[in-house]
Amino acid sequence: MSLVGRGSAEQGELAGRTGQVLNVINDSTKWIVSSLVFAVLVWNPNFKSAWWVSGAIINSFVCKTLKLVINETRPESSRRREPGMPSSHANSLAFLSIFSALALYSERSIPGTTVVAATIVASAMFLSWLRVALGDHTTAQVLAGFALGSSLAAAWWGIGTATAYPLLTSSPNLRLLLCAVTVVAIGLFAGANLAPKVLAVLGMSGGSKEA
């Protein structure tokens, strides 16, 4: 084999391995992010964390509603057939990262918080870009999702710091209500996302038994 041919083969193999790694990262994003959110709630179980998560769920609901209304198809290369405008992944990543960055930046007197905030946002942008690179969404769908999530995160942060946080600080009953609503919302959100997968698995199991 010539050096040129060998180099091309090695480059192709490297590109194939890189693509496999990126696919694994892309497919794992939802579960990794969900695990991190759960870890934050366990590590820091206060009304600010509950406000953050409740806002993320509202943001997701708004995005999914818009997706159904707009009803724009995904690229032909996508493995999924449901509407793609705006991107739910980019939307959730934007909300969680921008809200977190604003919270960290408000504590910028603590060394390292600005760097952590920038890293979180950069990671969210990279994971959102993967949706385009791997053919799950168009660029416009991802940009729309990220813009929506960023806007709602900034608004939710502003409402929290200006109005909700002072009220929650002074009222134990409001804090209890927010935590209860957040727990219920998390349960409903998890059920809505897991139910189709569980039913699909049960359907496959039933089909294999019948066969």
* pLDDT value at 13 more than 50: no
* pLDDT value at 137 more than 80: yes
Q: Are 61 and 178 in contact (CB under 8 A)?
A: no
User: What burial letters (b/e) apply to 37-54, b meaning 16+ CB within 10 Å?
Assistant: beeebeeeeebbbbbbbb
* pLDDT value at 28 more than 70: no
Mean per-residue pLDDT, 76-105: 87
Distances (CA, A) of 40 to 16, 80, 158, 168, 180: 35, 30, 21, 19, 17
State the pLDDT at residue 192. Answer: 67
* pLDDT value at 96 more than 90: yes
- Tell me: the pLDDT tens digits for 107-132? 777 788 889 899 999 999 988 988 88
Q: What is the pTM of this model?
A: 0.78
Higher pLDDT, 203 or 180: 180
Domain ranges for the chain: 28-210
For residue 195, report the phi and psi dihedrals to the nearest 5 degrees.
-55, -50
- What is the share, in percent, of the chain residues with pLDDT greater than 90? 29
Q: What DSSP assignment string belongs to 169-207?
A: HH-HHHHHHHHHHHHHHHHHHHHHHHHHHHHHHHHHHHH
* pLDDT value at 88 more than 80: yes
Helices 172-210, 47-70: axis angle to 10 degrees equals 50
Q: Are 93 and 149 in contact (CB under 8 A)?
A: yes
- Tell me: the pLDDT tens digits for 194-210? 656 555 556 654 444 43
State the pLDDT at residue 197. Answer: 58
State the pLDDT at residue 8. Answer: 44
SS (H, E, C) 145-171: HHHHHHHHHHHHHHHHHHHHHHHHHHC
Q: Are 115 and 135 in contact (CB under 8 A)?
A: no
Mean per-residue pLDDT, 150-159: 96
Q: Are 190 and 97 in contact (CB under 8 A)?
A: no
User: What burial letters (b/e) apply to 154-180, b meaning 16+ CB within 10 Å?
Assistant: eebbeebeeebeeebeeeeeebeebbe
Cα separation of 63 and 189, whole Å?
Answer: 13
Q: Are 97 and 124 in contact (CB under 8 A)?
A: yes
CATH architecture of the domain covering 28-210: Up-down Bundle (1.20)
pLDDT band at 10 (very low <50, low <70, confident <90, very high): very low
Q: From the CB of residue 85, how many other CB atoms can be counted at a distance below 10 Å?
A: 20
Average per-residue pLDDT for the chain = 80
- What is the share, in percent, of the chain residues with pLDDT greater than 70? 80
